[in-house]
Amino acid sequence: MENEIKPNKVVDARGSFCPGPLMEMIKAYKEAKVGDVISVYSTDSGTKKDAPAWINKSGNELIGIFDRTGYYEIMMKKVK
Amino acid sequence: MVNMLVIVLFKFFPMTELRIMTEKMTLLFVSGTLDKLMAGSIIASGGVANGMDVDIFVSFWALMNFKKGQAMNGKFSYEGAEMEKQVMDIMKKKKVAPWIETLRSAKEIGNVKIYGCAMFADLMEIKKEELDPIVDDIIGVAEFVSLAKDSNMTLFI
């Protein structure tokens, strides 16, 4: 199911520490259009909690957090 | 009627609710050690991630670090002095972003204003042009306190 969704933008923030990945995600969010799907690759453990919290608080949609080999991927949809 | 207006605003201006009730954070940087400048810059990022406006007042040793080209010459505060070399090596190896870049990134995303302290700038004859362009202005203590007074939280780093 998850593989069917193709992100409009992929942010590769692997190796970047808190708050780097979250900041890059917000930057991508600001540049995106409503309806766009953004994927963030990260290795930072703080972001795994911070990014979903931001997505919910800002009223956007968290599509999922997927464990990949050696990193994880957070997928969100810009709702507003 | 007012409710209707708010609903219409929310519908047509995304993130309006963040703007309507923009909360503010004020940070005071005095220490010029790398650990504190890093901590402050990360907290400022946390502020913008929460939709807050962030005002940072920079004085003394922190201001010295905002002089152009100075940002990387950091020392640790005394509690961290023993581990300074070890942590610096790890940070270099793991390519941790320099604190001033963290701050720049927070500024790109949100409303972050950085103010140099007029007293210390006068004392040390530091001109605004000598400071990193990330610094918006040089202001006095009364203006800083008036910003802090109207903000939701003030942290002394």
In a domain, B1, yes or no: no
Please, which pLDDT band fits residue A4 given cuts at 50, 70 and 90?
confident
Closest CA to A77 of A67, A66, A59, A68: A59
Average pLDDT of the residues in B96-121: 94
Which of A18, A26, A62, A65 is an active site residue? A18
User: What fold, for A2-77?
Assistant: Translation Initiation Factor IF3 (3.30.110)
CB contact under 8 A, B95 and A15: yes
Judge whether A18 counts as a catalytic residue. Answer: yes
A33: contact with B, CB 8 A cutoff: no
In a domain, B8, yes or no: no
- The Cα B18–Cα B3 span in angstroms is 17
In a domain, B92, yes or no: yes
Name the residue among B94, B96, B109 with its Cβ closest to that of A26.
B109
Position B17 pLDDT exceeds 60: no
Site of tokens 């941790």: B96
How many distinct structural domains can be found in chain B? 1
Please, which pLDDT band fits residue A10 given cuts at 50, 70 and 90?
very high
Share the mean pLDDT of chain B.
88
Range of the domain at B121: 23-156
In a domain, B31, yes or no: yes
Chains A–B, number of C-beta pairs less than 8 Å apart? 41
Give the residue from chain A lying closest to B93, CA to CA.
Answer: A15
Query: Exposed (0-12), middle (13-18) or buried (19+): which is B130, by Cβ within 10 Å?
Result: middle
A52: contact with B, CB 8 A cutoff: no
* ipTM score of complex: 0.77
pLDDT in tens, B74-103: 788 888 888 888 988 998 899 898 899 999
Position B20 pLDDT exceeds 60: no
- The 10 Å Cβ neighbour count of residue B110 is 22
Name the residue among A16, A26, A30 with its Cβ closest to that of B49.
A26
CATH number at residue B86: 3.40.1260.10
In a domain, B5, yes or no: no
